[in-house]
Every structure is written in C-alpha cells, then in structure tokens.
C-alpha cells in the first residue's frame, strides 16, 4: 500500500468517526439500552418506540445500526408453533456491553457517552471559535441543560471508578497514603473520597463541590459504610473559602478548567485549608515543558477551547511555579503518565 493510499485511508477513517459516536450518543440520550434491559433484555422496535415515545421508522434504523456495530443482538422470534405463525424481530444488548450500557449501574459509561455528545456539538463549531476567538454556544441535548450537567458529573465518575485504585496505589507508593483528615476539592460524586476512606479506615474526609456535585455525592454516600466519615459541603471555591484543618488536599481533574490566575486562587485557598506540613496532590494531564506531549493532553486542551474557550493543560514547570508562588514547597512530580492520572505533590511548610 502506497503512502498516498494510507494517507487517504486515514483521512477517510478519521472524518467518518463521528457516525458511530453519534449513533451511540442517540441511544444513550434516549436510554434505549436500559429500556431494553428493563424489559428482560428483549424488545422489538415497535415496543421500544411505544415505550420511549419515539418515531418507529427512526427507532428501527437506529436499532439496526446498533446491531450492525455489535452493541445489540438482533434475532427473529417465532410466535407460537408450526408453519405460518407470526414472528417478531427483537433486539437485546450484547452481553459484553450490558454493564457499561445499563444507566442504572454505578460504573455505567452512559453518562460519559452523553457528555461527549455535548462536547461533540461544541467541536463542530471549532473553526468558528478559532476564527473569532469566541465560544459558539452549543444547544443542550434532548435531556436538557440541567441533566447535561448531571451527565458531566457522572461521566467523571465513570472514569474515576476505573482509575481511583491506581491513584491510591500511586499515593501509597510515594508514601503519601497516611493522612487522617482530607479534603476532596471539586470531588464530583465522591469516587476518590470513597477510595481514600476505603484505603484508610481511620480517616475522615470532606468533599467540597458545587451543589450539583454534592447532590450526586449525597446519593452515593447515604446509607453507605462511609456515610458517617464524610462531610459534604456545597460551595464554589472561586467565590468562597474552603473549610480548614486538613493534612491532605486532593485536586483531581480540576486545574485544566481554569486560567493560570484562577488556579493561583485555588492553590492559595487550598494552602489556607491545610494544616502546617499538609500535602496537596494535583491530578491532571501534566504536559512536557514545550507542551507537545502527551497527545491525549493536547486533544483535551482543544476540548477546553471548543467547549469552554477557557482553561488549559499545564506543564510541571507551570504548576510548580504556581504552587511555590502561594507558599508551597517540596514540589515534586512522582507519578508521570500519558493520561490524566499524572500527579504533582507539594507541602505546606511546617513553620510559617
């Protein structure tokens, strides 16, 4: 295969990638997978259209596409016995995808699919954003703007439940998994808080987040084994001070949302929230010095541009400089990855 053919094939593959994403997104927003599973994992197009209040022809087209892509199984079921009996075509969720596509599960990937669908709508206006330097507001999903915010919160959970254990292992490896009282700043639904409470049975935690995040966290912790060890505080750390008295502060997947000036405010408030000798750990994409790698970080920065027209991914040098500017010392980069699971740590001085 010549290089020109390879180049053409790559362009063709990349530019048509939106199709499968859009098919999945439509099914996720309509919650088709869960509706099928709730009905014993077998529904006809006609039944699904009636249950969801959707157009039959369009539902059939979408279901066939999902079956062709391997997310659903399609089979014809004969009603009754003998020749001449009626039959119906039924769809079921493929076994390997059931846990991921059932929106009722804590570890479901449905919120992330919904969130990325919202992101995709913003990406379609990327050229206009680059041209004008202004954000082109994307329309909300059919679920509405409020539910889109919930999808974002739970999308972070769907990733965090798969990464929290490795972050806990990293903190143990570098000797930081020994704190007694921690604050999870902007902690979404509390996935990392739960992991810390599990790993350190004598610890207590405070999750500080916007009201929508605290609402999700309350749903997670109410009635759980950790309910009496976690304090949920609603607030905006850009407008309000953080609670105080902690020996560890966890800032996970937060700094990329803000400008350097805003992150200085966040770091300073975190500094004030810690006891003397307390440690801050910042988990995010950490770029190399010229900010060309990792690739996932570069693409994520484009997401920030397309969706928010603010925020950025930062290098270790930039983070170190900002942390030291507010008073932290012993800034280190003990966990380096190609993903958002890189960790930078620093300590508040023992003496003022």
Domain ranges of the chain: 3-105, 144-347
What pLDDT is recorded for position 85? 66
What pLDDT is recorded for position 60? 97
Q: What is the largest CA-CA distance in the chain?
A: 88
**Rounded (to 5) percent helix, strand, coil in the chain:** 50, 20, 30
- The superfamily CATH assigns to domain 144-347 is Vaccinia Virus protein VP39 (3.40.50.150)
Q: Which residues of the chain have pLDDT under 70?
A: 80-85
178-194: pLDDT as tens digits: 999 999 999 988 999 99
Q: What is the pTM of this model?
A: 0.79
Question: Distance between CA atoms of 213 and 232, rounded to whole angstroms?
Answer: 10
What pLDDT is recorded for position 80? 67
Q: Which residues pair with 73 in a beta bridge?
A: 92
Question: Distance between CA atoms of 351 and 318, rounded to whole angstroms?
Answer: 25
Q: Is the domain defined by 3-105 classed in CATH 1.10.10.10?
A: yes
Per CATH, 3-105 and 144-347 having the same topology is answered no
What pLDDT is recorded for position 81? 66
Question: Distance between CA atoms of 188 and 177, rounded to whole angstroms?
Answer: 21
What pLDDT is recorded for position 1? 73
Question: How many degrees, rounded to 5, is the angle at CA 272 between CA 269 and CA 276?
Answer: 145
């Amino acid at each position: 295969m010549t290089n020109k053919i390879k180049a053409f094939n790559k362009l063709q593959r990349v530019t048509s990638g939106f199709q499968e994403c859009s098919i999945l997104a439509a099914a996720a927003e309509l919650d088709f997978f869960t509706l099928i599973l709730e009905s014993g994992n077998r529904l006809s197009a006609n039944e699904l259209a009636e249950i969801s209040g959707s157009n039959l022809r369009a539902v059939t087209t979408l279901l066939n596409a999902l079956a062709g892509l391997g997310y659903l199984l399609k089979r014809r079921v004969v009603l009754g016995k003998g020749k001449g009996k009626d039959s119906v075509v039924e769809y079921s969720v493929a076994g390997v995808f059931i846990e991921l596509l059932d929106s009722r599960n804590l570890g479901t990937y449905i919120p992330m699919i919904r969130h990325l669908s919202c992101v995709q709508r913003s990406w379609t206006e990327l050229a206009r954003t680059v041209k004008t330097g202004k954000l082109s507001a994307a329309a909300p999903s059919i679920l509405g703007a409020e539910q889109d915010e919930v999808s974002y919160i739970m999308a972070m959970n769907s990733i965090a439940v798969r990464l929290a254990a490795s972050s806990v292992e990293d903190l143990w490896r570098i000797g930081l998994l020994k704190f007694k009282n921690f604050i999870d700043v902007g902690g979404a639904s509390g996935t990392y808080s739960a992991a810390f409470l599990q790993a350190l049975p004598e610890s207590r935690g405070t999750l500080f987040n916007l009201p929508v995040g605290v609402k999700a966290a309350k749903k997670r912790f109410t009635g759980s084994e950790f309910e009496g060890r976690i304090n949920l505080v609603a607030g905006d750390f850009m407008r309000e001070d953080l609670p105080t008295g902690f020996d560890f502060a966890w800032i996970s997947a937060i700094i990329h949302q803000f400008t350097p000036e805003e992150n200085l405010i966040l770091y300073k408030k975190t500094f004030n929230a810690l006891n003397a000798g307390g440690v801050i750990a910042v988990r995010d994409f950490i770029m190399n010095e010229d900010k060309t790698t990792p690739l996932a970080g570069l693409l994520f920065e484009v997401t920030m541009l397309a969706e928010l027209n603010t925020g950025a991914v930062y290098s270790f040098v930039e983070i170190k400089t900002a942390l030291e500017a507010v008073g932290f010392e012993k800034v280190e980069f003990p966990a380096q990855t190609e993903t958002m699971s890189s960790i930078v740590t620093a300590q508040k001085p023992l003496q003022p």
